[in-house]
Amino acid sequence: MTGQVAVVLAIVAAYMLAIVLIGYTSGRASRATMEDFHMAGRQLKTLVLFSTVFGANISAVTFIGHPGNAYHVGWVAWPYFVTSWAWMTPMFFYLLGRRAWPLGVHFGHMTISEIVAGRWKSPGLAVLIAVIIIVYTVPYLMTGLTGAGITLQALTDGFIPFWAGALAVSVVVMIYLIMGGMRGAAWVNTLQTAVFIVGGVLIFVVIAQSLGGPAAATEKVIENFPELYRRDRMGWKQFFSYGLVTAFCVPMFPQVFMRLLTGQNPKALRQIMMIYPAPAFLIFFSMAFLGMWGHALIPNLQGREADAILPLLLSQYAPTWAMGVLGAAVFSAMMSTMDSQLLSLTTIIVRDFLTRTKFRGTCEKNQVRISRVLVLALTVVSFVLSLRNPLAIIRIVEFAFAGFACLLAPTIAALYWKRCTKQAAIWSVIVSQVVLLGLTFGWFGLQKSWTFGFLPALPAMISGAGVLILLGFLSGPADDEGTRQYFSFFEELVKRSA
């Protein structure tokens, strides 16, 4: 082991120890109730709420998959995400949060399935949505571990193998999550989010300086790989459809949606909306340029090899101390998403499946114990799956994001469209998922070429929304107990604020 590797490992180890300590300390204030373990008692204030929601959103994609994508397609990678998601997601916080948050407080709902299916009191719809969310969250969860393995391997020049990096991150996340639940994770996320925002900017400044400044680095790209400075490697149809996908999917991430419900009040939600777009732009803009400059400096990386471009740049162009600190920033982004995904999957399994079985009668203390065991089991499963991950991170998330985005239309309908029926919501979910899978993999008699250059998510979302509207009008108006309960509650809210 070289001195450089020892310094990097010491800094990363110290950082992980600090995280475990924060998780342990904040976990001591937790009570053994489901509300506390999964929702932190719905008492998070603005700063912690922003950190945990933003941390849940910023993942291995940002520091690994996104620069890897920019390595292949150029600077266009940043508006690919930022010119829709960075500002559209906070607007959806308003659209969904202003109704979902009070519903959560009033009815004790914790998951997307409970909020949506609670509208029609439909266990079938709840299970359908829960299964879809789990199916798309697991591969997304794997990308965090993949990113951790790639990063530590590259920063230590291969001294720490891929599996050991992924294992280290799995163990740390599991420990603070089991000890502190949502409350512990939220406080850890506060540190992590601060570290990755500041670290992300530092990474950019340190590497840009060592390359002679942004202008010199860009000039190298224009001279040697002009197609990256133009937009030859990405068509506008893909750009257009992905903008819709990223804008529509994030509010449907279970880890983001559920954390919106943990806010102390709507004012906290409004305040995080105002903060959100700024760091989102800063990080994605800087990481895309680093990825593009990386192509001129370390050419010939093929396919998913480019996912290692940021750690490779760090190891070759940053001083040793900076590599350790900046490595911690990359880990922060990955762990903050992983912990929220693990916790949200646990909440979904307990609330949407186990409480519908004979576990319904079990006391809260036991439900929290089961939740802790589930965190352990899900971490092990994700770690094992990450070792077999064959695809580039950006390809995995593009598919998973599309699956989440298809759930937005029925969710909005559940909260706003009184006429909409349970049948319309169920068929909208089924049709959009069938179209997405069919156009992506060529299943169900559908062909990949039918997307005409757009991403399969676009026709999937349109067909899901079309079915929802058509069946909503044909089978409506809804006249069931759940609908009456929700909409009389909304009317009550309007009266209270008037």
Partner 1 sequence: MSRRGKVLFLLATALMLARTDFWWWDETFQPILFGWIDLANLYHIAIWVAGYVLVYFTVRLWGEEEGK
Binding stretches for partner 1 (CB under 8 A): 75, 78-79, 82-84, 86-88, 90-91, 94-95, 98, 213-215, 217-219, 222, 226, 229-232, 235-236, 239-240, 243-244, 247, 266-267, 270, 273-274, 276-278, 281, 289, 416, 497-498
Q: Which amino acid is at 373?
A: V
CB of 83 to partner 1, least distance (A): 4
| Residue number, 218 or 382, with CB nearest to partner 1 | 218
CB of 281 to partner 1, least distance (A): 6
| Residue number, 257 or 331, with CB nearest to partner 1 | 257
Both structure tokens of 240: 């257009």
CB of 219 to partner 1, least distance (A): 7
Helices of type H across 211-308: 214-224, 226-229, 236-249, 254-260, 266-275, 277-297
| Residue number, 84 or 341, with CB nearest to partner 1 | 84
| Residue number, 228 or 425, with CB nearest to partner 1 | 228
CB of 461 to partner 1, least distance (A): 13
Q: How far apart are CA 399 and CA 276, in angstroms?
A: 24
Candidates 475, 441, 425, 457; CA nearest to 246 is 457
| Residue number, 138 or 282, with CB nearest to partner 1 | 282
Candidates 478, 476, 477, 444; CA nearest to 460 is 444
CB of 458 to partner 1, least distance (A): 12
What are residue 48's DSSP bridge partners?
none
CB of 290 to partner 1, least distance (A): 12
| Residue number, 213 or 303, with CB nearest to partner 1 | 213
Q: Are 455 and 239 in contact (CB under 8 A)?
A: no
| Residue number, 75 or 383, with CB nearest to partner 1 | 75
CB of 133 to partner 1, least distance (A): 25
CA 416 to chain centre: 25
Radius of gyration (C-alpha) of the chain in whole angstroms: 22
Cis peptide before 214 (omega within 30 of 0): no
What are residue 263's DSSP bridge partners?
44
Both structure tokens of 343: 């916790």
Q: How far apart are CA 151 and CA 331, in angstroms?
A: 8
